[in-house]
């Protein structure tokens, strides 16, 4: 019996690459190949050699081919979803000049502040790009490179995002998509193109950047003979433009023009991320006003400190991550790596409200609460950016889709339920970023709508947990500490 057509969705994240071999008709995961990355740096620096990503992609595809038992000839399309914002600089031969600066590298915070002021403040930026520069954004990283590694900046012939770098290796074509491009702060979500004034502001020529395809689902080329040989796949299969990891997760959940609009998602990973697909172009200084992969928009709030920070607190207390109790009077803001939302790049963790009877379990509970309140406050901003009132009962009753590694943890799920007061859906499908990329790959191979493809796969479906009474006492206590402490955390 012949094999069904198979597409490969690649999730190239901060820590690893995953290659999801997916039945193009049903969305069934046939295998997921995995390979780790190596992140280096300290004192705010976070870097990875881009060649590590390519080698990991080759290893993950080889593993997926072996585990799935799928013949390479059954593969019809490939798409990459990558960690956003990272800065990759290439020489004239397309080779990396230095390690890439990752999204969570906070050294460019001074450059972000200077860029914000140079254009006339936050409102000027949101009017053009939908976002205000913070340390995460690529424009700030490019400015940091110009000031701190001018030799590399001068030698740069091409600038890429992580997923652009991999797509170019696959198809031999320098292409990106509006979703990932909208995280650079030199692409305008207002015009749908690179912004000449912003490029001039950062001293960058548009010829150094990849072409922006209309959506991440567009076929930007075919797998080259060289890449095919390294991957063990047939040359000529469709390569999609791909997108950023958050945009791909939205596709994987069936969010967008052909699916759910204005439905909130909370991703619990190394970072905490909240977003929703909407037709309303966002322009809020408190958020990243991204484009989505399918032509809609993706207002997004991202915190740097989520599951990894809480796990660190558990390690310090020598507790299992589930050995926890509500925080009582203690408030712990686990800003161990600075913070992005709110914009506190030099912040450290803050603990207050200790009593003689405070237990280690309560301190760990306070870390969960501090991380959850921070990201749920960003959720309210996302809803406002969609033109919705978070206090409207109809809006507050809309289920919150909970994804990411933390969504598999009992305490994370119950903390979010308690502090949000919302019904919660935990999708049964894992690897939503990779599945979103698989839908983009299937779209590139067939010209069908990628969100409609993912919706037909039902990858965003799961049991709905009913709402519980909202813990307003904890919500207000943590929020009050955050509001009072924010000025001092900036120093």
The helix/strand/coil state of 71 is: coil
- Structure tokens, 449: 């709508």
Q: Which of 11, 23, 164, 245 is catalytic?
A: 245
Q: Can you tell me the distance from the alpha carbon of 177 to that of 37, in angstroms, rounded to the nearest whole number?
A: 24
Q: Can you tell me the distance from the alpha carbon of 413 to that of 96, in angstroms, rounded to the nearest whole number?
A: 41
Q: Which pTM was predicted?
A: 0.91
Name residues whose C-beta falls within 8 Å of residue 208's C-beta, 6 or more positions apart in sequence. 156, 157, 158, 159
User: What's the pLDDT score for residue 342?
Assistant: 84
User: What's the pLDDT score for residue 285?
Assistant: 86
DSSP 96: B
Q: Domains plus CATH for the chain?
A: 6-247 (3.30.420.40), 259-426+461-491 (3.30.420.40)
Q: How far is CA 213 from CA 107, 164, 185, 282, in A?
A: 31, 11, 17, 21
Is 245 one of the annotated active-site residues of the chain? Answer: yes
Residue 69's region, left for phi above 0, alpha for psi from -120 to 50, else beta, is: left
Question: Alpha helices of 47-149 — where are they, by DSSP H?
Answer: 50-68, 109-119, 122-129, 138-148
State CA 230 to chain mean position distance: 28
Run of H or E residues at 266: strand 265-268
Within 10 angstroms of residue 374's Cβ, the number of other Cβ atoms is 24
Q: Can you tell me the distance from the alpha carbon of 380 to that of 427, in angstroms, rounded to the nearest whole number?
A: 22
Report long-range pairs for 184-188 (Cβ below 8 Å, ≥24 apart).
184/85, 184/137, 184/138, 184/139, 185/115, 185/125, 185/129, 185/131, 185/133, 185/137, 185/138, 185/139, 185/140, 186/129, 186/138, 186/139, 187/129, 187/212, 188/128, 188/129
Q: Is 37 annotated as a binding residue?
A: no
Strands 75-82 vs 6-12: parallel, antiparallel or unpaired: parallel
Q: Can you tell me the distance from the alpha carbon of 329 to that of 362, in angstroms, rounded to the nearest whole number?
A: 9
DSSP 131: B
The reply to whether omega before 351 is within 30° of 0 (cis) is no
Q: Can you tell me the distance from the alpha carbon of 120 to that of 129, in angstroms, rounded to the nearest whole number?
A: 14
User: What's the pLDDT score for residue 490?
Assistant: 55
CA angle 247, 175, 19 (to 5 degrees): 55
Within 10 angstroms of residue 378's Cβ, the number of other Cβ atoms is 25
Q: How far is CA 258 from CA 67, 242, 254, 279, 380, in A?
A: 33, 18, 8, 11, 24
Q: Is 84 annotated as a binding residue?
A: yes
Task: Kindly tell me the burial class for residue 163, based on how many C-beta atoms sit within 10 Å of its own C-beta (0-12, 13-18, 19 or more).
Answer: buried
Name residues whose C-beta falls within 8 Å of residue 219's C-beta, 6 or more positions apart in sequence. 238, 239, 240, 241, 444, 445
- Structure tokens, 85: 């914002």
Mean pLDDT by 10 residues, the chain (491 residues): 80 96 97 96 94 98 97 97 97 97 94 97 95 95 98 98 98 98 97 97 98 97 98 98 96 95 93 94 90 96 92 97 95 90 86 96 97 96 94 93 93 97 93 96 97 95 95 96 78 51
Q: Can you tell me the distance from the alpha carbon of 188 to that of 444, in angstroms, rounded to the nearest whole number?
A: 25
Name the β-bridge partners of 212: 176
Q: How far is CA 15 from CA 38, 204, 278, 479, in A?
A: 7, 29, 29, 31
Q: Can you tell me the distance from the alpha carbon of 271 to that of 102, in angstroms, rounded to the nearest whole number?
A: 13
- Structure tokens, 272: 């905490």
From start to end of 419-490, where are the E strands?
424-425, 464-465
Q: Can you tell me the distance from the alpha carbon of 49 to that of 39, in angstroms, rounded to the nearest whole number?
A: 8
- Nearest by Cα to 377 from 261, 487, 284, 443: 284
User: What's the pLDDT score for residue 270?
Assistant: 84
At which residue do the structure tokens 């936050």 appear? 122
């Amino acid at each position: 019996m012949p094999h069904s057509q198979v597409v490969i969705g690649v999730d190239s994240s901060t820590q690893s690459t995953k290659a999801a071999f997916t039945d193009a008709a049903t969305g069934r995961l046939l295998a997921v190949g995995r390979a780790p990355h190596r992140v280096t740096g300290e004192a705010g620096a976070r870097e990875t050699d881009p060649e590590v990503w390519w080698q990991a992609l080759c290893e993950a595809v080889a593993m997926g081919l072996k585990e799935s038992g799928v013949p390479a000839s059954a593969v019809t399309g490939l798409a990459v979803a990558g960690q956003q914002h990272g800065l990759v600089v290439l020489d004239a031969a397309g080779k990396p000049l230095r390690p890439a600066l990752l999204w969570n590298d906070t050294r460019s915070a001074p450059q972000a502040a200077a860029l914000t002021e140079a254009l006339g403040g936050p409102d000027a930026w949101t009017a053009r790009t939908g976002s205000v520069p913070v340390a995460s954004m690529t424009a700030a990283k490019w400015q940091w490179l110009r000031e701190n590694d001018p030799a590399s900046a001068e030698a740069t012939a091409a600038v890429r995002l992580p997923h652009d770098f991999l797509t170019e290796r696959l198809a031999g074509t320098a292409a990106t998509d509006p979703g990932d491009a909208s995280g650079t702060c030199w692409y305008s979500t207002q015009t749908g193109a690179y912004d000449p004034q912003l490029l001039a502001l950062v001293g960058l020529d548009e010829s150094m950047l990849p072409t922006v395809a209309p959506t991440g689902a567009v076929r930007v080329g075919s797998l080259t003979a060289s890449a095919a040989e390294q991957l063990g796949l047939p040359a000529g299969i469709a390569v999609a433009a791909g997108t950023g990891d958050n945009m791909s997760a939205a596709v994987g959940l069936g969010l967008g023009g052909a699916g759910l609009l204005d439905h909130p998602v909370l991703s619990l990973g190394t970072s905490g991320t909240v977003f929703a697909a909407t037709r309303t172009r966002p322009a809020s200084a408190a958020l990243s006003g991204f484009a989505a992969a399918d032509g809609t928009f993706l207002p997004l709030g991202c915190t740097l400190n989520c599951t990894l920070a809480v796990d660190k607190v558990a390690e310090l207390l020598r507790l299992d991550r589930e050995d926890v109790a509500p925080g009582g009077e203690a408030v712990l803001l686990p800003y161990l790596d600075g913070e992005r939302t709110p914009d506190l790049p030099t912040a450290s963790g803050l603990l207050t409200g200790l009593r003689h009877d405070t237990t280690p379990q309560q301190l760990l509970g306070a870390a969960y609460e501090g991380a959850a309140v921070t990201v749920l406050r960003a959720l309210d901003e996302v809803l406002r950016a969609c033109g919705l009132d978070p206090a409207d009962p109809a809006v507050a009753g809309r289920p919150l889709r909970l994804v990411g590694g933390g969504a598999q943890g009992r305490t994370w799920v119950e903390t979010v339920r308690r502090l949000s007061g919302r019904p919660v859906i935990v999708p049964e499908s894992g690897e939503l970023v990779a599945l979103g990329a698989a839908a983009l790959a299937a779209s590139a191979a067939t010209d069908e709508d990628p969100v409609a493809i993912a919706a037909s796969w039902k990858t965003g479906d799961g049991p709905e947990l009913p709402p519980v009474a909202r813990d307003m006492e904890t919500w207000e206590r943590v929020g009050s500490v955050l509001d009072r402490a924010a000025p001092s955390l900036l120093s």
